[in-house]
Structure 1
Amino acid sequence: MASARLRWKLLRDMEGWLDLPMVVLSLVWLAIVVVELVSGTSALLETVGTVIWIIFILEFALRLWLAPDKSAYLKSSWLTVIALLVPALRIFRALRVVRAVRALRGLRLVRIVGTANRSMNALRSSLERRGFGYVVGLTLLVVGLGAAGMLNLEGARETGGGFTSYWDALWWTGMMVTTMSNEYWPQTSEGRVLTFLLSLYSLGVLGYVTATLASFFVGRDAEEKNGPIAGNAEMKALLKEVRMLRDEVRASAPPAGPARPVPSAG
């Protein structure tokens, strides 16, 4: 028990030390993935990406070594494990199975989802309050990465009639996240999976955004003196008047006289 508590303490301390550096590296990794999906890779991007990938592996290995229950930690981090394994397949590009078009698209989809997961965790740890600003930043991240993924999976060269530029894919992804209709529907299985994930995200975040906007406008109405909704100031004034009325009633009440003796029964 003492060893487990010590490991948990070391794990929390390590997370505090590595929080900011890993957030920066995650955002750089996100930018590299987006550029590679949109414009293709280069020697510089591959070098920088490989260095960051190795750092991610070392950080995950250190977390796994410190975790008291390693099996539970692996189960909770299975998506991170897959995302760390996918870049290693670049070494085996000569293999026919990796060079297959469908296999390549599947690996790209896994990389997109893994990158989104790491970027979301980085954004969550960098913002102390998970408020409306966090949701806005998260939505921009999802739309930007999702557009790059859709261009890569559903580009004109892939399907013969898909997206021709990143801006077209960005517009389409933005319309999808806002649940508006689109004229184009994905042709590949991987593009359909990514579209389904974007739709799930839009359904999850739409309720929060609607509730936040409704709360904002209700608050604005409550601040108006002639508004239809009583605000905090009006409620405080009403409570003050009730307290003053109660004090006046107590002050005007006649003092209680001496208690009369109760006559005996006999």
Structure 2
Amino acid sequence: MTVERWERRTEIPLILLAVAFLVAYAWQVLDPRMDSDFAGFLNVVSWTVWGAFAADFAIRLILAEDRRRYAFRHWYDVALIALPVLRPLRLLRLVAFVRVLDRSAANSLAGRVAVYVTGSAALAVGLGALATLDAEQDARGANILNFGDALWWACTTVTTVGYGDYFPVTTTGRVVAVGLMLVGIGLVGAVTATVAAWILGRVEAEREARA
């Protein structure tokens, strides 16, 4: 069996596991005063998902022809397995959704950009808000104390507006902020490049029609 065949077979199960992890993670962040037994159950769910993703990556690594190159190209998989203690970074498991975005994107450049921009922006804002709230809500001197504040901050950050009314004070929160800034810059660049390519394509088509 090749890596591609394995990825196709495990795509849906991994997405379902990623959703289960997102629910467990978000529930713990949004309701920090939950019953200890239920919190323990959610932790079990989270670690079970981690184990499943670790096993999946190990199998893909075994199936790969060039294992070192494959591990380098899938650095985010290595990160989410090697750094399980950093709770906000566990959200990297949700990169399983990228495969769905790639398969559902239209064949045209404009269609792909529309899917990627919409999907990436939604994931970046939602997950960035959760990760930042997780890191900030119990920190000393923090001003991001609920999900509404975190969501507003994530929106202003990913759009590179940055009003400055809310800002992270923890190291983890600032790392998430840098990631959102890079995503925002990338999205703006992708949209700009697509519009420019579309205009050049129309100009070239008109020039060929007149020739």
TM-score, with structure 1 as normaliser: 0.62
CA contact (8 A) 1:34 1:145 kept: no
Q: Out of 172, 179, 197, which is 2:179 matched to?
A: 197
1:208 equivalenced with 2:190 (yes/no):
yes
What is the aligned partner in structure 2 of residue 3 from structure 1?
none
Q: Out of 46, 51, 76, which is 1:49 matched to?
A: 46
- Structure 2 Cα separation of the partners of residues 213 and 27 of structure 1: 33
- Structure 1 Cα separation of the partners of residues 149 and 14 of structure 2: 32
Unaligned runs of 5+ in 2: 33-37, 107-111
- Structure 2 Cα separation of the partners of residues 123 and 59 of structure 1: 17
**Greater Cα radius of gyration, structure 1 or 2:** 1
What is the aligned partner in structure 1 of residue 143 from structure 2?
162
CA contact (8 A) 1:176 1:182 kept: no
1:24 equivalenced with 2:29 (yes/no):
no
CA contact (8 A) 1:26 1:122 kept: no
CA contact (8 A) 1:143 1:170 kept: yes
CA contact (8 A) 2:142 2:168 kept: no
What is the aligned partner in structure 2 of residue 132 from structure 1?
114
Query: How well do the aligned residues superpose, as a CA RMSD in angstroms?
Result: 3.2
Question: Which stretch of structure 1 is more off in the superposition, 50-59 or 118-127?
Answer: 118-127
- Structure 2 Cα separation of the partners of residues 193 and 164 of structure 1: 18
1:35 equivalenced with 2:14 (yes/no):
no
CA contact (8 A) 1:177 1:201 kept: yes
Q: Partner letter of residue 209 of structure 1? A: V
- Structure 1 Cα separation of the partners of residues 139 and 57 of structure 2: 35
- Structure 2 Cα separation of the partners of residues 133 and 77 of structure 1: 22
How many residue pairs are counted as aligned between the two chains? 199
1:174 equivalenced with 2:155 (yes/no):
yes
What is the aligned partner in structure 2 of residue 10 from structure 1?
2
- Structure 2 Cα separation of the partners of residues 148 and 43 of structure 1: 19
CA contact (8 A) 1:147 1:173 kept: yes
1:47 and 1:69, CA in 2 relative to 1: closer, same or farther beyond 3 A? Answer: same
Within-5 A mapping of 1:1-266 = 10-40=2-32, 42-87=39-84, 89=85, 107-112=86-91, 114-115=92-93, 118-129=95-106, 130-155=112-137, 157-180=138-161, 181-210=163-192
1:150 and 1:26, CA in 2 relative to 1: closer, same or farther beyond 3 A? Answer: same
- Structure 1 Cα separation of the partners of residues 168 and 145 of structure 2: 14
Q: Partner letter of residue 115 of structure 2? A: G
Unaligned runs of 5+ in 1: 1-8, 90-106, 219-228, 243-266
The 3-state SS of whatever aligns with 1:29 is helix
Cα shift at 1:66: 1.0
- Structure 2 Cα separation of the partners of residues 175 and 23 of structure 1: 28
